[in-house]
Amino acid sequence: MASDKEFDGDAGAPLPDFSTNIQLQTVAPALGGRSNNPDYLDYDQKGRGVVTTMFANAGAAYVIGIAGGGVYGLRTGLSSTPSSRFRVKLNAVLNHCGRHGSRAGNTLGVFAVMYSLYEGLADNYDFDEKLGLAAVSPAAASFCAPAFAAFMTGATYYAPSGARVAGLAGTIGFGAVGATYAGYSLLGIPYGSQGFLFL
């Protein structure tokens, strides 16, 4: 008869030998092995990353656009139906909701992606410190990146329409951020505390 650790043709593969002492520190420290050195967390991050922020903003903006466009499509679908039959009205409402909802959702989603990328760019290159706004006023420094992102988003989205239209769209975006910032300052709400775009 063969020994216990030898392979027997009809018994299957032999079991591994567990009689040796396994050092968990050499296998993986995450398995419970104690390390003599402390582990440090990276606290240099300013918040969520650019990609995480972009996906969150784009998703929320898309859902808001779908809902708003769907409500507008419902109103226009009911008012523009030439027949009083239920099936015709239902078809018109569904067509208008789908058309206006998808258009508004896609537009707001693109705005959110561009805004998040421009805001991440401004944060990455520390525009507020390079412009000297951090030394003047911390409030002005927190306004720098969203204002830049809003202006550039409007200007980039409408750039194919010409320089005047792009400049106007950028100014409208800058004004929206400025109005939000002023409103939050008057109400005593910390700017950017809502976590969605510049709100």
Q: How many CB atoms lie within 10 A of CB 68?
A: 15
Taking alpha carbons only, the member of 103, 96, 118 closest to residue 174 is 118
Per-residue confidence in pLDDT tens, the chain, 199 aa: 555 555 555 667 777 676 666 665 666 656 655 666 766 766 666 667 788 889 988 999 999 999 999 999 999 999 988 888 999 999 999 999 999 999 999 999 999 999 999 998 998 888 888 888 878 887 778 888 899 999 999 999 999 999 999 999 999 999 999 998 888 888 888 777 776 766 6
N-term to C-term CA, the chain: 79
Question: Do the Cβ atoms of 112 and 66 come closer than 8 Å?
Answer: no
Query: Which H or E run contains 57?
Result: helix 50-79
- Between CA 154 and CA 67 the distance in angstroms is 22
Query: To the nearest 10°, the Cα dihedral for 10, 16, 19, 21?
Result: 180
136 Cβ contact list (under 8 Å, min separation 6): none
Classify the C-alpha dihedral 183-158-165-147 as positive or negative.
Answer: positive
Q: Locate the domains of the chain by residue range.
A: 49-109, 125-181
